[in-house]
Amino acid sequence: MVQIFRNAHGVEGLHLATDCFSEEVERRIFSANRRYRGSRNGRESGGPTGPTSWWPDDYTKLTNLIRDCGLLPGYVPPNYCLHLKYQVGSAFCHHYDSRHRWGEVIVGVNLGQSGVIYFVPKDGHESMLPPGMNSIRVTLPRRSIYIMSGASRLDWMHGIAKQQPTQPPPSWNKQNVRVSLTFRSTKVFSDVYLKRQHQIETDVEKQAELQARIDSQEKFYPVREYGGAKMSNDEVERHRKKANELLDKMDRGEIRAQLRFEQHEVTFPLPAACASNGYVTNGATVAPAAAFQGGGRLLGSADDSDNEMKKAINASLRSLAEDRATRRRKKDHSGRSSSDKGIVVVDLLSDDEEDQKKESGGNGKMSPDVIVIDD
Ligand SMILES: O=C(O)CCC(=O)C(=O)O
Ligand SMILES: [Fe+2]
């Protein structure tokens, strides 16, 4: 069953979904990777690629799964994917993925072997760390999907810890490597997409939400792919033209942007419009994502399943999250479905002021014994 962790380990904007799709799908995507070019200390790169070059149908299906399972209902389709393969002992030093170069979110998909992503606060933000810690480590189990948005992109740097497998790999991963896909939308593509959505949206509330996203994107001027210099107006215009061409192709069905996994390939009920034939025909409306806003916190990661104590605590936190979700659904006037099954959402940063005070002992800070337990 898919589990969604919002603000995982207290890092705002870092959302994680575990156990979203089947091992058959994992194996297929893992094995379909392009020939890897070049290696940096055991980390090999097989990308980048985009929908008009090499883009397996499974990539599009993953994109739609991210929306359908509620991890990110308003996900802008990616137009860029980077494949990385990590040999045992390799790592990726902490860095930013610039908001000037990429859109709102970076999405990572973890295949073949678990990994650990770590977060280090940017200068001046050290107080975000629990006392005595210099990073926050988050385990990424096989088949998990993570989203870096908001503060996790702006106020934290992230890196991949030295790859040290803790579980035997599946038989089809003979080299015992971790493969990651990072899906991104380039900044100009993302802006063009949001504006087009805004134009066709008829619901006033949703239009306002889109406008807010557009306004927040405008704080970041687009930069060139190489070198990071600010793009000239002509360059921006060229990129806009290309983005519109790609989106037109999607609208005309020349790029099948609506592809879905089959129901048996995913671990949650697909919205009804997707389930019948594996994909939605062009122009069909997909039911709003199966998301509900949960609450509460979850200790540890999915790898902790053998630890009875944590399991028990997690079960009680999950029921707390469900209680909160029920309360919130009662308050919710947006008409979102409240009967979604098979998805558990937990929010590791409570957005309920009252709960926040209780959890922090009144000082407004997260209690560190809760947020940093992982592997
Ligand atoms: O391997 C990963 O999951 C993350 C890689 C990364 O941070 C990046 O490509 O920018
Ligand atoms: Fe990165």
Cα separation, 200 vs 190, in Å, equals 16
pLDDT at 34 over 90: no
Q: Cα dist. 283→61, 67, 253, 273, 366 in Å?
A: 17, 17, 9, 12, 45
Residue 95 tokens read as: 């860095």
Q: pLDDT digits over 159-210, tens only?
A: 999 999 988 999 999 999 999 999 999 999 999 999 999 999 999 999 999 9
- pLDDT value at residue 340: 44
* Angle, alpha carbons 330-333-336 (nearest 5°): 85
Nearest ligand to the C-alpha of residue 146? 1
Pocket mutation for ligand 1, best pick of 33, 84, 109, 156 (most atoms within 8 Å of C-beta) = 84
Nearest residue (CA) to ligand 1, atom 7: 159
Cα separation, 299 vs 373, in Å, equals 6
Query: Of all atoms in ligand 1, which is nearest to the CA of residue 97?
Result: 10
Answer for the pair 89, 163: CB distance below 8 angstroms, yes or no: yes
The amino acid at 91: A
Pocket mutation for ligand 1, best pick of 80, 180, 181 (most atoms within 8 Å of C-beta) = 180
- Strand 136-140: give its sheet, edge to edge: 92-95, 156-160, 115-121, 136-140
Q: How far is the CA of 93 from the centre of ligand 1 (A)?
A: 10
Averaged pLDDT for residues 32-60: 85
Contacts of 115 (CB under 8 A, 6+ apart): 86, 139, 140, 160, 161, 163, 178, 180
Q: How far is the CA of 187 from the centre of ligand 1 (A)?
A: 18
Angular region, 7: left φ>0, alpha ψ -120 to 50, beta rest: left
Nearest ligand to the C-alpha of residue 138? 1
Residues with CB under 6 A from ligand 1: 82, 84, 92, 97, 108, 158, 160, 180, 182
Pocket mutation for ligand 1, best pick of 117, 143, 179 (most atoms within 8 Å of C-beta) = 117
Average pLDDT of the chain, as a whole number: 79
pLDDT bracket for residue 124 (50, 70, 90): confident
- pLDDT value at residue 64: 95
Query: Of all atoms in ligand 1, which is nearest to the CA of residue 108?
Result: 3
Answer for the pair 11, 156: CB distance below 8 angstroms, yes or no: yes
Contacts 24+ apart (CB under 8 A), 331-334: 332/293, 334/205
In the chain, % of residues over pLDDT 70: 72
* Partners of 179 in the β-ladder: 85, 111
Query: Of all atoms in ligand 1, which is nearest to the CA of residue 82?
Result: 9
The amino acid at 134: N
Which range in 45-54, 103-112, 365-374 is most confidently predicted, on average pLDDT?
103-112
- pLDDT value at residue 120: 96
Nearest residue (CA) to ligand 1, atom 1: 180
Q: How far apart are the first and last CA of the chain?
A: 21
Averaged pLDDT for residues 275-299: 34
Question: Which DSSP string corresponds to 163-211?
Answer: ----SPPPTT-TT--EEEEEEEEEHHHHHHHHHHHHHH---HHHHHHHH
Query: Of all atoms in ligand 1, which is nearest to the CA of residue 146?
Result: 3
Q: How far is the CA of 80 from the centre of ligand 1 (A)?
A: 13
| CA atoms 64, 70, 71, 74: torsion sign | positive
Which range in 18-22, 38-42, 277-281 is most confidently predicted, on average pLDDT?
18-22
Q: How far is the CA of 126 from the centre of ligand 1 (A)?
A: 22
Query: Of all atoms in ligand 1, which is nearest to the CA of residue 182?
Result: 9
